[in-house]
Amino acid sequence: MERMAWNRPIVGMIWLAVCLAGAYAAMNYDFKPGRLAAPLASWPADLSGLDSAMQLERPQKLTVIAFLHPRCACSNATVKQLVKTLEVHPVPEIIVSVYTPLDAADKAAWEQSDSVKRVLEKLPAARVIADRDGVLASRFGAFTSGTLLVYDSKGEEIFRGGITDRRGGEEDNTGLRQFAQAISKEVRVQTEMSPVFGCLLVAGGSS
């Protein structure tokens, strides 16, 4: 008969407890969404101080604006979800705001990342804007990569949030379904903003 040292189960339980605590912490991080500002009452009026390349007119037609950090691993999931949905429900105006550091020596590498290339490959009509230091994202209250905004033809915001269920998640989720409804029916169906999972576009947001 095998004899067990009295302290072995205690050591095992401690080990298991530490493992579970670590796992919980890791999962918690994965499912903790980034910071998201409240919906804007109207189109941001103060875009005058920005470069001409970042100037955006109040939309006259259904418009989707996607804010992406080109080096965030989670951006790929957002782009895949976005492309997949837009192939089913096309919209007339797609704007992709790509975070680019103001002092970046290799701006082209930032602006033409894999996620941006994927958007342009699948959605050639999309307009890509280099967002210098995340100023544009800041004006629109989109602090986290993967934030999508949808404006109707009157320039009213009808969707704000993410379309992935977690960092890098590509499954079906509430945010994705609300986004699809917003662009297909041009109405606001969100009762609350869907969470966004990704890297921060503006320093000071929660990661």
Partner 1 sequence: MSTSRSETIFRSDLAKIEVRTDRMFLWLLIAQWIGAVLVALIWSPRTWIASRWSIHQHVIAATVLGGLFAVYPILLILKQPGSRYTRHMVAIGQMLQSALLVHVSGGRIETHFHVFGSLALISFYRDWRVLITASVVVALDHLALAFWFPLAAFGVPVVSLWRPIEHAFWVVFEDIFLIMSCNYGIRDLRTIAERQVKVEDMAHTLQRTNETLEDKVRERTEELRGVNESLKAYAQQKEAINKELDDFTYIVSHDLKEPLRSIDAFSKFVVDDYGGQLSQEGKDMLSRVRANVQRAQQLIEDLLRVSRLSREANQLCDVSIRQLIEEEVKPRFEYIMKEKNVEIMLGKELPTLKADKTRLAEVFANLISNAIKYGNKPSCRIEIGCEQENGHYHFSVRDNGPGIEPKYFEKIFQIFQRLGRQEDHEGTGVGLTIVKKVVEMHNGRIWLESELGQGTTFHFTIQRV
Binding site for partner 1 (CB under 8 A): 2, 4, 8-9, 11-12, 15-16, 18-19, 22-24, 26-31, 69, 71-74, 77, 99, 101, 103-104, 133-134, 145, 165-174, 199-203, 205, 207
Minimum Å gap between C-beta 117 and partner 1 is: 18
Q: Please state, in angstroms and rounded to a whole number, the distance separating the CA atoms of residues 93 and 66.
A: 11
* List of residues 6+ apart from 190 with CB closer than 8 A: 158, 159, 160, 161, 178, 182
Q: Specify the residue, 196 or 199, whose C-beta has the smaller distance to partner 1.
A: 199
Q: Residue written as tokens 């875009």?
A: 47
Q: Specify the residue, 38 or 203, whose C-beta has the smaller distance to partner 1.
A: 203
Q: Specify the residue, 12 or 92, whose C-beta has the smaller distance to partner 1.
A: 12
CA angle at 140 for the pair 134 and 141, rounded to the nearest 5°: 85
Strands 127-132 and 147-151: unpaired
Q: Specify the residue, 2 or 46, whose C-beta has the smaller distance to partner 1.
A: 2
Minimum Å gap between C-beta 28 and partner 1 is: 8
